[in-house]
Amino acid sequence: MPKLLILLLALSSVSAIAQAGAASTKKEVDNAYPEAHALYVDLHENPELSGHEIRTAAKLASGLRSLGYEVTEHIGGTGIVAILKNGDGPVVMLRTELDALPVEEKTGLPYASKVHAQNDSGEDVPVMHACGHDLHMAALMGTAAVMAGSKETWRGTLILIGQPAEETVAGAKGMIDDGLLKRFPKPDVAVALHVGNGLSAGEVGVVAGYMSTNADTLRITIYGKGGHGAAPQTTVDPIVIAARTILALQTIVSREVRPGETAVITVGFVHAGTKDNIIPDQAELGLTVRSFKPEVRKQLLAAIARITRAEAEAAGAPREPLIEHRESTDAVFNDPELAHRLKGVLESAIGKDNVVNSEPHSASEDFSYYVEQGIPSFYFDLGGADPQKHAQAVETGVSLPSNHSSLFAPDVDPALRTAITAEVAVLRNLLHGSAADLRKSISPQSGVKQPAR
């Protein structure tokens, strides 16, 4: 037989196997879909705030138990861990968040949330799954069902976690502090996805390397000397210092950071003063600072401190400003080797045209806490936009509602089906062979803790 013909036959049988695989997965996903969709609607109608995901966690725990998973509840508060062991092989973790947001839903959907709850300050707030975590949970349950029903297709240990309080960046840390990685097998790889309107439902997006930003929250207190608004010569006006500081801070990104690097400095609030004819004693600024690279992060934080102190000194302030580092989250770093490999896996599962190269996000994510613990990560984007509306948005330049909007409403049917198909494909690919082989295939720089800030 001519070599070319042998090659063609071999190639066509490979693609036939891939097609047969995709067809059988479609059937498995179709079988799991109705229950996953019903769960989605139920969770969407009954959202719970960060750290208060009691009903949500119980619902997932009982569902996973009935599928044969070994479930432990109350890890780091309301967190759950579900394990399915299936012989020797790698340990792979898939994570969903459990929490919703204090947003009043305005989607007009028949299953829109009407829930109100008390927040941690005791105020009554509306609650909505405005970030799509309900879709992530429904996908995880669909995936759990497919994996439990097809143990001949994979080997190793599958760990599914329901993580509380992602929106307050407390849940991942809470679960790790409560022994997630000591009481249960430590994952060789951690996987998660996030739905958004940046891509059409039916598509997924992959980024190799930095996927989300480092986020730092700063509180700056500028001290002046208060007095009568008509006698400025007796005062040091902290409002004027604050104004100059805010403008000078905006020169860090534009003048100090190398063009092309990602860096954001936003002053999100200014609090000062009580009355028009009083010069106050102090002014407060609230900042969020975003970056990808650790060295850029260090540069931004150092420049903010330098400029803030120098502006106060230039004005003759009686005290150096106080700069408090309130919160910080590291960037999520996707292992590049894993990302390349799994991009191919996703292309076979949902079609080459449906897998795009995503842009890194300027949002932040506490999935980075798992990466920080030395677990290589694959965190990918799931399209949520109605394809027609998405095309229209691209044409007109008017964006669709983003995550956290009161109008955020993913196109559930294609998005949820795609999520389950994608998760199953990724897990099956990772859960075969030996753990050592999987680890060997991962880049050495993956899972390296970022330098201290």
* Interface contacts to Zn ion, rule CB under 5 A: 131
What is the token pair recorded at 119?
């927040």
Q: For residues 326 and 223, what is the distance between their CA atoms, to the nearest angstrom?
A: 19
Q: For residues 86 and 83, what is the distance between their CA atoms, to the nearest angstrom?
A: 10
What is the token pair recorded at 370?
């798992």
Which residue carries 């490979």 as its tokens?
A: 14
Residue 180's alpha-carbon distances to 53, 74, 163, in angstroms, are 18, 11, 11
Q: What's the min distance (Å) between Cβ of 287 and Zn ion?
A: 20
Q: What's the min distance (Å) between Cβ of 311 and Zn ion?
A: 34
**Cβ-closest residue to Zn ion?**
131
Q: What's the min distance (Å) between Cβ of 153 and Zn ion?
A: 30
Q: What's the min distance (Å) between Cβ of 304 and Zn ion?
A: 25
Q: For residues 443 and 435, what is the distance between their CA atoms, to the nearest angstrom?
A: 15
Which of residues 28 and 366 has its CB atom nearest to Zn ion in the complex? 366
Which of residues 308 and 364 has its CB atom nearest to Zn ion in the complex? 364
Which of residues 131 and 176 has its CB atom nearest to Zn ion in the complex? 131
Q: What's the min distance (Å) between Cβ of 100 and Zn ion?
A: 9
Residue 20's alpha-carbon distances to 17, 115, 433, in angstroms, are 5, 44, 22
Residue 364's alpha-carbon distances to 110, 331, 333, in angstroms, are 31, 7, 11
Which of residues 131 and 355 has its CB atom nearest to Zn ion in the complex? 131
Q: What's the min distance (Å) between Cβ of 211 and Zn ion?
A: 13
Q: What's the min distance (Å) between Cβ of 444 and Zn ion?
A: 30
> Could you tell me which residues come within 8 angstroms of residue 270 by beta carbon, excluding any fewer than 6 positions away?
242, 246, 283, 284, 285
> Could you tell me which residues come within 8 angstroms of residue 447 by beta carbon, excluding any fewer than 6 positions away?
335, 371, 373, 374, 375, 376, 377
Q: For residues 237 and 223, what is the distance between their CA atoms, to the nearest angstrom?
A: 9
Which of residues 139 and 248 has its CB atom nearest to Zn ion in the complex? 139
Which of residues 131 and 332 has its CB atom nearest to Zn ion in the complex? 131
Which of residues 96 and 421 has its CB atom nearest to Zn ion in the complex? 96
